[in-house]
Structure 1
């Protein structure tokens, strides 16, 4: 393929040299800017600094995208979870890493497959063009010669696992060079969290076990499909699983489905998120649309769940707090919400009006999971976000914008500490679910989602 990468910088030295060049160029540009801004007034200097920061952030993202591996995954994670401590220019640039899909050349991937499978690589007819590319791995469809079964081979890029700690160090250095992010204990804590997640994500034996566990959770529910893992062809750097045909959630054909079918798909999608949190105590934290497919089979629309690498397991302390917050949201009870806001410094430092304002934010965020009678009462007898069957209208709710605006207004006079990392993972997953249900134009029943967990 002419647009594939023929070489991957895998050694710590080669990756550090590449980043060193990037750092040098960034440093030079900041120096030039400092000199040229001497004759500018305050507003002009501020505008120049903002423009340069965006330019440097874009350059940083472009250079990181060429490296692939964990350094790109770090950028993607910070784009998802860094909104509390990264400038919007850096966030905007890091979000472009999600679109980095340049595959590795076939000869590199084939060598990686042979490394994992040995002579068993000849058991497959493997398509050279990948059906998926990511920062840590590449996915190829294949046919098992002896059975004729279509399978998927998810193979890790060479030496990705070995470079995680070095890549994290590189990324922190780059952020320091750009002058974009204060080097604080909060940032260190986030990098520690990302390190743990990355080391889990590159352990494909762990991912295979997690996939089987989620398959067992959903085995008796015909609405879901989880790929079958083939252990005899899987290893720490390779997962062999059943190929599951389906269409993307971005497929325009889904928008043409009858409302009842869209509602059923949306209910299934958000129900998994709720059960992850309140029933299983572990959550797939990547809200990417690409982790879902849909297919119509046996007279129902089935949701295919893919990629169980980015799993976060929660302790009982957090789960009990989250359940308390959701219970207050279900009942739309502000007093109950303020009582439930405890157990972390982020909550315990809130008093007076800031705590009251934050409780309003949480109540609003819980609208899709609220008891409909309480929600109607909260809206003075007429809730515009419910349809005639009292289902929540995600696409018409403007919920995300309302929550963010209310949060910003409440935070203007107070310097908040960072929310607990676990809460931020949960928040991002629910934001991803919100985007998914808005795209589907789904309408969901809150009683079927959370009533059994909070009553």
Structure 2
């Protein structure tokens, strides 16, 4: 991390908010203000550019969008909650299926948000954790971490000395979900950034469902316990233990689990072999979720993973935040798994049938669209193909089959292919299940890239796909 980034991070941590706009009315007022400003800017843009050249209009339009992003960022300080989380979710999705201008605006919703001060968050703690439970704890007033929907405070159980963490939900964020989503959609529509022939309803429905789920801490406690049980016998992974006696619908208490971020200098200085082993373990967990369990933790944010260094080299992945865990129905998973297998083995017949079952493509689609979509999917599995495979056009696979996850142009090539599809064809909205599954896949790639992994992942993926008929 360079000095500027480090200073920015430090400033964010040192700064605290004394309040947030938690009522639906106050949030709606702020968001309505942004939309009105956007509408006025659009009208002014039309007047001032009426007689300008096309190039001049485009430049003025880009400047308008940049100004809107700045307006949004300045207004976001007191607007934690679903607005920020939805912006994060939609921008991850928008990387592939929304115009670049829309995605740039959505990214401005991902404001570097400092935690609430103790005076501001304490009322939520008092309301949601009985006094007799609080008396058993020593709670640190400075937040350990903060996010869009809540923040984490470290605590100590007085009787045992055990360190735990309390994830405290911000006040009323669950009540503002619908109004926040309407505001985002209205803002994008006002700025004419939503594709005219692209049905956004399934996307917003999926985002809403996940936001509602992420404010249900009782459900998150259950999901965390399920992952804890699934991985209890696997020493490669650490899942926090839920402490029900200190949890409630708006507070989640778990064991404190130490670890370092993947980009920490100590992790980056580990030998290549150890980083590769961590990368393979991360991939293995991802494949277990998709191919064995049908249950996927779909939030790949870097803050949801830590690495625990072991003196003997048996390093562990520490897993956090299971609020965005999603179960997938076999009606979706079966053809999806076949699509992966068909792409991996270059089996066009298996791939095309699975793609039709998922309604990605249809028999009456333009042949060029089918060709581009097929190329996109076959290129996606590039890290897992053989060295001799003719699809290895980027030269990223060594003779021994290892793939360099850091030094590859694959993400750029995939984005280029998607834009070809969007701009050249009327491409229907993908199955809603893909929204967060794609988000997870992208997060896995980023994590392995941060680890600078150079691994042979084909053998691992084949182990899972060979069971698919």
**Which residue of the partner structure matches residue 31 of structure 1?**
43
1:298-447 equivalence runs, <5 A: 299=312, 300-348=314-362, 350-370=365-385, 372=386, 375-378=387-390, 384-387=395-398, 389-409=400-420, 413-447=424-458
Contact 1:358/1:410, CA 8 A, preserved across alignment:
yes
Q: Distance in 1 between matches of 2:423 and 2:98?
A: 17
Give the length in aligned residue pairs.
451
Q: What TM-score results when the alignment is normalised by the length of structure 2?
A: 0.89
SS at match of 2:279: helix
Query: 1:89 and 2:101 equivalent?
Result: yes
SS at match of 1:341: helix
Q: Secondary structure, in 3 states, of the residue corresponding to 2:406?
A: coil
Separation (CA, whole Å) in 2 of partners of 1:185 and 1:255: 42
Cα pair 1:376 1:383 within 8 Å, conserved: no
| 8 Å contact from structure 2 (residues 394, 408) kept in 1 | no
1:207 is matched with 220
Structure 1's 35 and 408: CA in aligned 2 closer, same or farther, altered over 3 A?
Answer: closer
Residue equivalent to 1:102: 114
Q: Distance in 2 between matches of 1:190 and 1:170?
A: 15
Q: Say if 2:464 is the partner of 1:449.
A: no
Cα pair distance change 1:24/1:242, threshold 3 Å: same
**Alpha-carbon distance in 2 for matches of 1:386, 1:42:** 44
Selected match of 1:278 from 285, 291, 306: 291
Q: In structure 2, list runs of 5 or more residues that go unmatched.
A: 1-12
Larger mean CA deviation between 354-363 and 409-418 belongs to 409-418
SS at match of 1:441: coil
Instruction: Check whether the contact 2:394–2:409 (CA below 8 A) recurs between aligned residues.
Output: no
Q: For structure 1, which segment, 56-65 or 4-13, has the greater mean C-alpha deviation from structure 2 after superposition? A: 56-65
CA distance in 1 between counterparts of 2:277 and 2:381 reads: 20
Of 303-312 and 383-392, the range deviating more from structure 2 = 383-392
Superposed displacement of residue 335, structure 1: 4.0
Question: Which range moves more in the overlay, 203-212 or 326-335?
Answer: 326-335
Contact 1:57 1:90 in 2 (8 A): no
Judge conservation of contact 1:116–1:235 (CA < 8 Å) in 2. Answer: yes
Partner residue in 1 for 2:3: none
TM-score of the aligned structures, taking structure 1 as reference length? 0.92
Task: Describe the superposition over 1:196-232 as per-residue Cα deviations: whole angstroms up to 9, x where unpaired.
Answer: 1111110001001001111111111111000000011
Q: 1:219-269, CA deviations, whole angstroms, 9 ceiling, x for partnerless residues?
A: 111110000000111111000001111111121222211111011010111
Change (3 A) 1:15 1:184: farther
1:63 to 62, 75, 85: 75
SS at match of 1:293: strand
Question: In structure 2, what is the Cα distance between the partners aligned to 1:411 and 1:307?
Answer: 33
Asked if 1 retains the 8 angstrom alpha-carbon contact of 2:287 and 2:464, the reply is no
Deviation track 1:326-362 (CA, whole Å, cap 9, x = no partner) reads 1112313334323332113332254533223322221
| CA-CA distance at 1:441 after TM superposition | 1.2
SS at match of 1:139: strand
Which structure 2 residues correspond to residues 116-127 of structure 1 after superposition, within 5 A?
A: 116-119=128-131, 120-127=133-140
One of 43, 59, 82 as aligned partner of 1:47: 59
Structure 1, unaligned runs of 5 or more:
none
Alpha-carbon distance, 1:454 to partner? 1.7
2:200 paired residue number? 187
Q: 1:58 to 1:350 in 2, by over 3 A?
A: farther
Matched-pair contact (CA < 8 Å) for 1:281–1:315: yes
Change in 2 beyond 3 A, CA 1:383/1:197: closer
